[in-house]
Structure 1
Amino acid sequence: MNRAIRHLSIFCLVLTLILIANLTFIHGFRQEQYAENPHNPRIRIETQSIARGAITAGGQVLAQSHPDDKGIYHREYPTNSPAYAPITGYLSSIYGMSGLESSYNGILNGTDDSLITNRWRETFLGREHGGANVETTLQPAVQETAYNALTSSGYEGAVVALRPSTGEILAMASTPSFDANSLANEDTAEDNWAALSNDATNPLLNHATQETLPPGSTFKIITTAAGLSKGFTPDSMLTGAPSITLPNTEQTLTNYNAQPCAGGGEVPLRTAFALSCNTAFVQMGIEAGQDALRDTATAFGVGENYDLGIPNAKGALGDLPDDAALGQSSIGQRDVSMSVLQAAVMAGTVANHGKRMEPHLVSRITGADLKEIRSTKPKELNQAIPEDVADQIRDLMIASERSTSGYGGQDIASKTGTAEHGGPDDPPHTWYVAFGPSQDADVAVAVVVKNGGGHGMGATGGSVASPIGRAVIEAALRQ
């Protein structure tokens, strides 16, 4: 064998070994990624030939499959789809799947390994194989209160309500939204996909989990927790001046409308919190220090993803290169970003005496006979702040609620936020985080209305976002 043939043989052998190694790697480690890819045509065939399980909320069917006269199954979303679509997602024979339809695909189509016992039972009994059902934690009355509160005013934004003691998500509304039926229907899917994909308001995005925004003064809950951990108390005196110069700069930061806090001079932290005085929190944030603020933000879950079955963004505290950046970040501006879900977790953590619970959207999985296969148990992630610190912040939030415009005597603890973003002529994002009752809270809520909700530069969290949050808490407490 001459040298050229020998080299060619070795080259072919190496290529063969590489091919075998790659195939082994794909089958062993990447099978699920490719098998569950929403654009895999095999999935399209499966979804049309299997009695896919339902997605439900409080006994209401959010997604279900039904066969036509040819035995081909079609997916439909019978209950106010735009209110739930950012959660259920869609199942399209053209565009694949999203949301719970995607993350629980193996459960819904009956192929998940955890359902093997059910498949054996169905085979033994001679039954047709079908999918299992996904039951969510959503409460329809609370969900639709949140969604309608946003849409009735034409707001772009989001609401999340959860149970502080368990992490169950009771509502997750996102606007603008979309009708999942428009993508499930092959006759309308292409036109609707084009319209939704080209819409600048991103209706296919879950604005409650996938979008992060500057939280403004709602972040002062975290700054307060950091300050209390470093020896501050509700009676600690802080500046009430209308403006403060950031360290080692000529840049000044002002209170809302450049007003002094309670007449100026020095004010106790409890007053600064109730009136949301920026200058006081810049001072306290800087004195507490970078490590305290970063550690506290991390403990509250800023920068963390949750296993919800739907995409969610991490949020961030951002870089803190100097005290000027620390001061700006202490009032929820500069590079600080949070999702509405993270803001709700923050409020729920305070309500739950400092314990942060893992938020979850799926309550349990049931078989075609509705018997429970498995359920989600509450999971404590950490003791984010000591119980006494949480109780002090709760008391500060009670006083804050009573000083907020629109306060109607409800037993609620809250904090509002008005977050600057973009340029000087862009209306602020308005925030509201709250929980109720103020003692042993049964529900915590976070609301954001983007770009002032059409109310211009004078929009505030107290005037725009808080009425929505109060309505959602009231709806949840009625259940």
Structure 2
Amino acid sequence: MNKTIRRASVFTLLLVLALLVRATWVQFYEGQALADASDNRRNAITTYAEPLGNIIVAGEAVTGSAKTKGSDLDYKRTYTDGPLYAAVTGFASQAYQPTQLEGIYANLLNGTDTRLKTVMDTVTNERAEPGTVVTTIDPAVQKAAYEALGDNKGAAVAIDPTTGKILAVVSTPSYDPSSLTDANTAGAAWEELNADSDKPLTNRALRQPLPPGSTFKLVVAAAALEDGLYSSVDDRTDSPDPYTLPGTTTVLRNENSSAPCENATIRTALQYSCNNVFAKMAVDLGQDKVKAMAEKFGFDNAEQDVPVRAYESVYPSDMDRSSTALTGIGQFDVTATPLQMAMVSAAIANGGKLVSPHMVSQITDGGGDVLKNYDDDAGTTEIVSSDTAEQLQSAMQTVVDEGTGTNAQISGATVGGKTGTAQHGENNSKTPYAWFTSYAKADGKEVAVAVMVEQSDAARSEVSGNGLAAPVAKAMMEAALRS
């Protein structure tokens, strides 16, 4: 054979072998990855070939499926009261990846979860009947929070302290998930929502940690009582007023200059929200002890799943004493989500024990059989002693009865709370954040809430936890106690 022909034949053979190897690799090793790729339209066609399973609130579906026209995607997702429940459901879209509960339980809701398959499904290789997600949300509490927040930019969370069930998760401004479900129209809605400076797609209740301001004083007070720095909320503290931050000439003053904050008790300091007391207390405890208590409540947990993963609330490390003082009033680099501050009140209200917060009660298969019961799996952790919890409850009640949280009072109910106004911007140049966290008890029912108002139309001088956030909390607590 001619040498040139022989070399060409060998080269051609090598090319054929390379193609065979590549084809084999793609078929047996990359095939599944290609099949699962988000831009593989076959997946969307399969997912939306049949109606999806539903997300349930108080026995009623807040989701649905509707027939589409002129598309190879036979069905699209629909929502009942979409903006009201958007922070809970998220969205399932023909064009974009699903979010929130729609994303976490996507396989259950589209019938591909292996737990759904019957013997017949396995034999026929058909997709199983989709499952159902049953939430813990109380529609009355959810609606009360949504309506009370109104046009304000903010968020609210409510928890049953005794069970850990999340009764409400609200973020405003909201959006209508239905606008993102149809592939033909989702693109324009997606661009509009992402261009909105108010960021309606951001779940502020779970995924926007901000400085918690004076609501964090509850954590510092808990640390002081548990450590033995003070044995009672009615012990006088060692707290000069005004207080000079250690190592600096910066004087920390109180919002109310006439408040009896000098050497005030913890009860009085919470009642009047005395900055000098808790800044000095944080320094006396030291950052490690404050951090340890914050972490017991849930701060610095990067895997806080409810089951939607909440963003981490942070208590900082490696600070000097002046910075530690500022953390005592919920400033410097302390951040918290409304979920986190609701957890603080829930643990205090429940005798010092935190039941794992969760907003899904159970998931079921297509026939209604329970696949997993999250209520049964909710663990309980002791955060503080029952004595400390009782003392903090009493002090929080004083805040509502006689202090800065009077707008949260509810006739016939025991209510305890803590206001917060967190500085925002360099030298506090922007409108502060208004916070309120609280609990209420009446007729054997309990609820803990946290509300954060990030922006409102109120004048700067009127921005306060009691003025803006406490009325929202009151509406939520009233709804929970009535339900």
TM range (shorter): 0.7 to 0.9
SS of equivalent residue, structure 2 residue 381: strand
Shift of 1:142: 1.1
Q: Which residue of 2 aligns with 1:229?
A: 226
> Over residues 40-89 of structure 1, what are the superposed CA-to-partner deviations in whole Å (9 max), with x where a residue is unaligned?
53431222113311111112211122345889542333321011112211
Matched, 1:333 2:336: no
More deviation, 285-294/205-214? 285-294
- Whether contact under 8 Å (1:417, 1:460) holds in the other structure is yes
Letter in 1 for 2:425: G
Which range is displaced more, 332-341 or 424-433? 424-433
- Aligned partners of 1:108, 1:353: CA distance in 2, in Å? 38
The letter for the 2-side match of 1:247 is P
Contact 1:240 1:260 in 2 (8 A): no
Matches within 5 A, 1:292-371: 292-304=289-301, 305-371=303-369
Residues 269-309 of structure 1 show CA distances to partners (whole Å, capped at 9, x for unaligned) of 21111111000111111112222101000000011132224
Are 1:214 and 2:215 matched, yes or no? no
1:460 to 458, 461, 464: 464
Assess, with a 3 A threshold, how the Cα gap between structure 1 residues 441 and 35 changes in structure 2: closer, same or farther: farther
Corresponding residue of 1:112: 113
Instruction: Please name the residue that 2:424 is paired with.
Output: 421
The residue matched to 2:134 in structure 1 has which SS? strand
Gaps of 5+ in 2: 1-9
In structure 1, C-alpha distance between the alignment counterparts of 2:161 and 2:35, rounded to whole Å: 37
- Report the CA distance between 1:411 and its aligned residue: 1.6
Q: Which residue of 2 aligns with 1:255?
A: 254
Which residue of the partner structure matches residue 196 of structure 1? Answer: 193
Displacement of 1:182 in angstroms is 0.5
| CA drift at 1:121 | 5.5
2:181 is matched with which residue?
184
AA aligned opposite 1:46: T
Structure-2 residue corresponding to 1:411: 414
Moved more, 374-383 or 48-57: 374-383
**SS of equivalent residue, structure 1 residue 450:** strand
Is the partner of 2:430 in helix, strand or coil?
Answer: coil
Q: CA deviation at 1:242?
A: 4.5
Distance 1:415 1:439, change over 3 A: farther
Per the alignment, in what secondary structure is the counterpart of residue 97 of structure 1?
Answer: coil
C-alpha distance in 2 between matches for 1:440 and 1:449: 30
Identity of aligned residues (%): 32
Deviations 1:191-238 (A, max 9, x none): 111100111111111110010000001001100011112211212223
Amino acid at match of 1:210: R
- Which shows bigger deviation, 360-369 or 129-138? 360-369
Equivalent residue for 2:161? Answer: 164
Count of residue pairs brought into register by the alignment: 455
How far apart, in 1, do the equivalents of 2:35 and 2:234 lie?
Answer: 60
Q: Give the aligned partner of residue 442 of structure 1.
A: 446
Whether the 8 Å CA contact 2:134–2:363 is kept in 1: the answer is yes
- Which residue of structure 1 aligns with residue 7 of structure 2? none
The 10-residue stretch of structure 1 (381-390 or 411-420) with the greater mean CA deviation from structure 2:
381-390
In the other structure, the counterpart of 2:145 is 146
Calculate the TM-score normalised by the size of structure 1. 0.87
Q: Tell me which amino acid in the other structure corresponds to 1:237.
A: R
Q: Give yes or no for contact 1:282–1:331 (8 Å, CA) kept in 2.
A: yes
Deviation at 1:246, TM superposition (A): 0.5
Alignment of 1:258-297 (within 5 A): 259-262=257-260, 265-297=262-294
Change (3 A) 1:322 1:189: same
Match of residue 76 from structure 1 = 77
For structure 1, the residue ranges without an aligned partner over 5 or more in a row are: none
Deviation at 1:325, TM superposition (A): 1.1
Cα separation, partners in 2 of 1:433 and 1:38, compared to 1, 3 Å: farther
Aligned partner letter, 2:110: N
CA distance in 1, matches of 2:146, 2:120: 41
**Structure index of larger Rg:** 2
Per-residue Cα deviation, 1:232-286 (whole angstroms, up to 9, x for no partner)? 12122235654211111111211115x1432x54322211111110001111111
Residue 100 of structure 1: SS of its match in structure 2? helix
Q: Secondary structure at the match of 2:224?
A: helix
Distance change in 2, residues 1:190/1:134 (3 Å): same
Q: Give the 3 Å change call, closer, same or farther, for CA 261–371 of structure 1 in structure 2.
A: same
Deviation string for 1:100-154 (max 9, x for gaps)?
11110111112112223xx326678999732111111111111111111112xx1
Q: Does the Cα contact within 8 Å between 2:410 and 2:474 map onto a contact in 1?
A: no
- Greater shift, 322-331 or 439-448, is seen at 439-448
